[in-house]
Amino acid sequence: MSITFLQYRRGWMTLVLLSSLAQPSYAFNLNDVDAQAKALAMHPYQQPQSNLSATFKQLQFAQYQQIHFKIDHAYWQDQDLPFKLAFYHQGMQFDTPVKINEITADGVQPIRYHADDFSFGNIRHDTKAVKNLGFAGFKILYHLDPQHNWDDEVASFLGASYFRVIGPHQVYGLSARGLAINTGEAQPEEFPRFNTYWIEKPKKGDTSLKLYALLNSPSASGAYQFTITPNANGDARVDVKSRIYLRKPVKRLGIAPLTSMYLYGANQPWASHSFRPALHDSNGLAIHTGTGEWIWRPLENPLKDPQYISFSSFAMTNPKGFGLLQRGRNFSQYEDLKDRYDRRPSGWIVPDGDWGKGRVALVELATDNETNDNIVAFWEPDKLPKRGQALRFDYHIDFSTHEQRLRSKTLGYVKQTMRTPGQTYQDNLIRKADGTIEYLIDFAGGELSQLPKGDSGIKSQISVDNNATLISHQLQYNPVTGGRRLALRIKVNNPKKPVEMRANLTKDGHPITETWSYLLNRTDK
């Protein structure tokens, strides 16, 4: 396994939402959708046309939020089924309709748009303009909690190929995507779009809902099957089968993308005062490599120059898992009663079968507020197919708040990373900043928690690239976690360049913790 790092100036990026093409009136399984995706890829891309009036295109976000689907109009509402559907109205950038179909034992039928299924708040509009408009996306409702008598929203499909899923006691945080194209490149990113969905009507007693989606974009098409299980042992799980076809070569193809937000945290404190100690949907990239190594890469917000993109990649063969995780579930780590970052799930990708050679990629963009998703992680395969040949990637996504399920059962893990100005003690025992940077890494759990406090066989392995000097390091027992705290202090040589660091703990020459892999972005002002 090797690591590469690249950082360069970012060009402008635009979000392109693509529309539906006319499709045959039936699709019963993934093979049927696959045939449509393959046929699409063999023809030139057709730019979709918006059917939205200026009134709805020009809505601000607060206005768009006034448009509500009437829950008592939910699809399958009166059929005593475990799942129901609600729908998103078009508006703002969601200006082209998606086709949504229902699969039953008798065949396939479209789910029709009706304006009277929505309330429009104080938005004044011509009723003729919404007569046959269409949907922007849909929500899945499911009764998660037997303690209450209403249905919970457990999944949302809205915009490009984005979808979000949550399980018991979770709130929406990070998103998944069907496909990412040219993410992290200087050229504008391409956003493939699900333009047609087919949803299987559930049966009584079902705990999963199956649906299919057709993806289309200037560079690619694809067929997807999603099986959504809102309560899989206390978490949500989505099983995904994908078949991807390229229309033309792309510079970077991202499989199983996850998109999240990181503003600040203990490893990168916020410059201005805030009552919230941390603000993020995810705070690290976790990787289980094909060779069995576990890696933890804390996220950073490259605020020093908003025009830069931070791109990291971890090369390997046949990854066993990767994801953007929210480590830390104590409310006191966030202190946010409104947005409940402590309840936002981690997203963990587990490949089904061998994915071959490639790399897990991480893109970090600068943001100065929490409304922008600035983090993307995905798998980038080494080899891409010729036109007309399918790329097949099957996997499942765990949307989990049970972090112990998303790490090694035997190795210690990085519980937290803290950054502070490096200091030395003066003769009067008062600490004084010395221009260095210190990181405190708490390793806990696994075999590490079983070793006695005074075990002198535990050693730290540390590497720092040539843009920094390791000034000092110290390993000590942490009586609170039962693990070890590693303190390392570095002096950055060129503050205009990043610094790559790695550390783990060993005993008798063997790793007993996962690998802490950190990228410190430029530190100059």
308-343 pLDDT tens trace: 899 999 999 999 999 999 999 999 999 999 999 999
* Ramachandran class of 256: left when φ > 0, alpha when ψ lies in -120 to 50, beta otherwise: left
What is the spatial distance between Cα 233 and Cα 400, in angstroms, rounded to a whole number? Answer: 10
The answer to whether residue 48 sits within a structural domain is: yes
C-alpha separations of 451 from 18, 269, 448, 478, 483 in Å? 56, 32, 6, 12, 9
Domain check: are 371 and 454 in the same one? no
Is the model's pLDDT at 87 over the cut of 50? yes
CATH of the domain at 25: 2.70.98.10
- Of 273 and 220, the one with more pLDDT: 220
Domain check: are 241 and 320 in the same one? yes
Query: Three-class SS of residue 90?
Result: coil
The answer to whether 411 and 294 have CB atoms below 8 angstroms apart is yes
Candidates 449, 375, 455, 440; CA nearest to 408 is 449
- Identify the domain containing residue 76 by its residue range: 2-406
Candidates 133, 171, 355, 347; CA nearest to 260 is 347
The answer to whether residue 63 sits within a structural domain is: yes
- What is the share, in percent, of the chain residues with pLDDT greater than 90? 81
Taking the alpha carbons at both ends of the chain, their separation in whole angstroms is: 34
Domain check: are 390 and 454 in the same one? no
Domain check: are 400 and 440 in the same one? no
What is the spatial distance between Cα 335 and Cα 127, in angstroms, rounded to a whole number? Answer: 44
The model's pLDDT over 49-85, given as tens digits with 9 standing for 90+, comes to 898 988 899 999 999 999 999 999 999 999 999 999 9
Is the model's pLDDT at 432 over the cut of 90? no
CATH of the domain at 424: 2.60.40.10
The model's pLDDT over 274-302, given as tens digits with 9 standing for 90+, comes to 899 999 999 999 999 999 999 999 999 99
Q: Which of 11-15, 53-57, 360-364, 452-456 has the lowest mean pLDDT?
A: 11-15
Which of 355, 375, 406 is the last residue before a domain boundary? 406
Domain check: are 402 and 420 in the same one? no
Report CA 351 to chain centroid distance, whole Å.
16
Which DSSP state fits 96? S
Hey, what are 195's tokens? 């333009």
- Of 425 and 339, the one with more pLDDT: 339
Q: Sign of the CA dihedral 119, 55, 155, 131?
A: positive
Query: Three-class SS of residue 308?
Result: strand
Q: Which residues of 116-139 are buried (b: 16+ CB within 10 A; e: fewer)?
A: ebbebeeeeeeeeebeebbbbbbb
- Of 479 and 24, the one with more pLDDT: 479
The model's pLDDT over 170-189, given as tens digits with 9 standing for 90+, comes to 999 999 999 999 999 888 89
Q: How does residue 19 score in pLDDT terms, banded at 50, 70 and 90?
A: very low
Domain check: are 451 and 388 in the same one? no
Burial class (CB in 10 A: 0-12, 13-18, 19+), 193: buried
Is the model's pLDDT at 9 over the cut of 50? no
Which of 357, 391, 406 is the last residue before a domain boundary? 406
Helix then strand then coil, in percent of the chain rounded to 5, is: 10, 45, 45
Is the model's pLDDT at 26 over the cut of 50? no
Hey, what are 291's tokens? 């060779």
What is the spatial distance between Cα 410 and Cα 514, in angstroms, rounded to a whole number? Answer: 10
Is the model's pLDDT at 11 over the cut of 90? no
Say how many C-beta atoms besides its own lie within 10 A of residue 484's C-beta.
24
Q: Which of 115-129, 147-161, 399-413 has the lowest mean pLDDT?
A: 115-129
The answer to whether 519 and 363 have CB atoms below 8 angstroms apart is no
Number of domains making up the chain? 2
Which of 371, 406, 441 is the last residue before a domain boundary? 406
Is the model's pLDDT at 145 over the cut of 90? no
Average pLDDT, the chain: 91
- Of 1 and 463, the one with more pLDDT: 463
Query: Three-class SS of residue 131?
Result: coil
Going by C-beta distance under 8 Å and a sequence separation of 6 or more, which residues neighbour residue 509?
Answer: none
In the prediction, which pLDDT does 1 show? Answer: 55
Domain check: are 428 and 375 in the same one? no
What is the spatial distance between Cα 486 and Cα 516, in angstroms, rounded to a whole number? Answer: 11
Q: Count of residues for the chain?
A: 525
- Of 387 and 113, the one with more pLDDT: 113
In the prediction, which pLDDT does 525 show? Answer: 58
The answer to whether residue 379 sits within a structural domain is: yes
The answer to whether residue 244 sits within a structural domain is: yes
Domain check: are 305 and 384 in the same one? yes
Is the model's pLDDT at 226 over the cut of 80? yes
Contacts 24+ apart (CB under 8 A), 205-214: 205/82, 206/81, 206/82, 206/83, 207/82, 207/231, 209/83, 209/140, 209/142, 212/27, 212/29, 212/30, 212/32, 212/33, 213/33, 213/157, 213/161, 213/178, 214/23, 214/33, 214/36, 214/37, 214/40
* Ramachandran class of 82: left when φ > 0, alpha when ψ lies in -120 to 50, beta otherwise: alpha
Query: Three-class SS of residue 438?
Result: strand
- Of 339 and 431, the one with more pLDDT: 339
**pLDDT, mean of residues 481-499:** 96
Domain check: are 347 and 203 in the same one? yes
Domain check: are 402 and 254 in the same one? yes
Alpha-carbon torsion, ordered 257, 515, 405, 318, to 10 deg: 50
The answer to whether residue 525 sits within a structural domain is: no
Domain check: are 380 and 467 in the same one? no
Domain check: are 377 and 503 in the same one? no
Candidates 133, 97, 140, 102; CA nearest to 115 is 133
Is the model's pLDDT at 21 over the cut of 60? no
Q: How does residue 386 score in pLDDT terms, banded at 50, 70 and 90?
A: confident
